[in-house]
Amino acid sequence: MTARDLIPIAVLAVLAALLPLVVTSSPVMNFLVFTLIVALGAQGWNILGGFGGQFSFGHAAFFGTGAYVTAILQMRYGVNAWAGLLLAAAAGAAVAWAIGFLSFRSGLRGSYFALVTLAFAEVFRILANATPVTGGAAGLLIKLEVHPANLQFADRAVFYWLVLAFVTGVLLLTRWIQRSRFGAQLVAVRENEDAAKALGVDSLKVKLRAIALSGAVTALSGCLYAQYFLYIDAHIAYGSWISVELLLAPIIGGVGTVFGPVVGALTLHGLGELAKQFAGRIPGIDLIVFGSVLVLAVAFARGGILGLLERLRDRGRGLVARGAKEVSHAGR
């Protein structure tokens, strides 16, 4: 990675970190924290779905695992929340690797892979809803004990910085993936798996590595969700809503790009909040916006928002170049 790769990420991270000094309203901070948690999970999805081209419809399986592992360890076994964070990421990676091993070894791709991930997430949801260790249908409450060791802070801004640090870390991670040999192999598998294999890429190994990384990152976001809202149940942690959220953000923002998931999550939730402000108390109005934006994005902006911006920039450059040519012609 070069300085040119790092500077935009660093500048944005610093700007975002300064935000709590300007914004003090707690609904806005809540919105930012929640959106960043979604963005983090979406970054996880993007590693597998964006760079690897394997569209998962069941990332809730990893999100929920992260949330439950940290909550159960902390509440039932008194494990320190920071250690729980690491263990949650490890658990997410393990679950993801196992699901990936089963499905990729059977050669599932495209729609079939989407369906099998969806089914795995549902199995987890039903199990979490029925077993005692997860608190069953009543869910799990994390005790409110404000202390940095418990990942609970008196000031919301601290939690915001924590989530922001993770998002920035994963931005760097994805930038590294993009520049690395592993990333190149992953993209090769996405573009044409048979050709990649013919060139000696061990496609199973590459895909497994991607899904494990993806699962770990998404589990982290689940863990942060549990620690921020202090309550989870099977429908929150393993529900299809989160699978959809995590896939929408990268697709809207720009699939397979470093900033796409973050841009997408901010745009979607920004639009959702706007719709709520305008439409008032209509239930589901933000989701109506999400769905419409998804259809519109697929129809008119295939690279998402970032793709659209790039195209505009190229067109702008084209215009400038053409303009310069005409000027030079006229000058002759």
Partner 1 sequence: MYSPQIILEAALNGLMTGAVYALIALGLTLIYGVLHIINFAHGALLTCAMFAVWIAWAWLGLDPYLVIVPLVPLMFVLGYGLQRFVIGPASHGDDGNILLVTLGLSIVLENVLLAVFQSDTRTLDTDYSFQVVALGPLLLSFPRVIGLAVAVVVTGLLWLVLNRTDTGKAIRAVAKEKLGANLVGIDVPHVYAITFGLGCACLAVAAGLLMPTFYVNPRIGSAFVLVAFTVVVLGGMGSLPGALLGGLFIGVVESLCGLFLGDSLGQIGIFLIFIAVLLVRPTGLFGAKA
**CB nearer partner 1, residue 55 or residue 160:** 55
Contact status: 308 vs partner 1 (CB under 8 A): no
Among 1, 274, 298, 320, binds partner 1 (CB under 8 A): 298
Give the C-alpha separation, 134 to 262, whole Å. 31
Which whole-number Å values give the CA distances from 72 to 77, 93, 223, 227, 290, in the listed order? 7, 17, 11, 12, 32
Residues 6+ apart with CB under 8 A from 55: 49, 110, 113, 114, 247
H or E element, residue 141: strand 140-141
Of residues 32 through 91, those in contact with partner 1 by CB under 8 A are: 55
Size of the site for partner 1 (CB under 8 A): 39
Only one of the segments 9-17, 104-112, 163-171, 265-273 lies at the binding site for partner 1 (rule: CB under 8 A); that segment is 104-112
Applying CB under 8 A, does 323 fall inside the site for partner 1? no
User: Considering the rule CB under 8 A, would residue 8 count as an interface residue with partner 1?
Assistant: no
User: What are the Cα distances from residue 188, in Å, to 43, 87, 166, 209, 315?
Assistant: 20, 32, 28, 14, 28
3 state SS of 302: coil
Which residue, 21 or 194, has its beta carbon nearer to partner 1? Answer: 194
Q: Does residue number 274 form part of the binding site for partner 1 (CB under 8 A)? A: no
> Which of 322, 271, 252, 313 lies closest to 39, judged by CA?
252
Q: Determine, following the binding rule CB under 8 A, whether residue 192 of this chain makes contact with partner 1.
A: no
Which of 299, 327, 330, 332: binder of partner 1 (CB under 8 A)?
299
Interface residues with partner 1 (CB under 8 A) are: 55, 102-103, 106, 108, 110-112, 114-116, 118-120, 122-123, 126-127, 129-130, 137, 240, 244, 251, 282-285, 287-288, 290-295, 298-299, 302
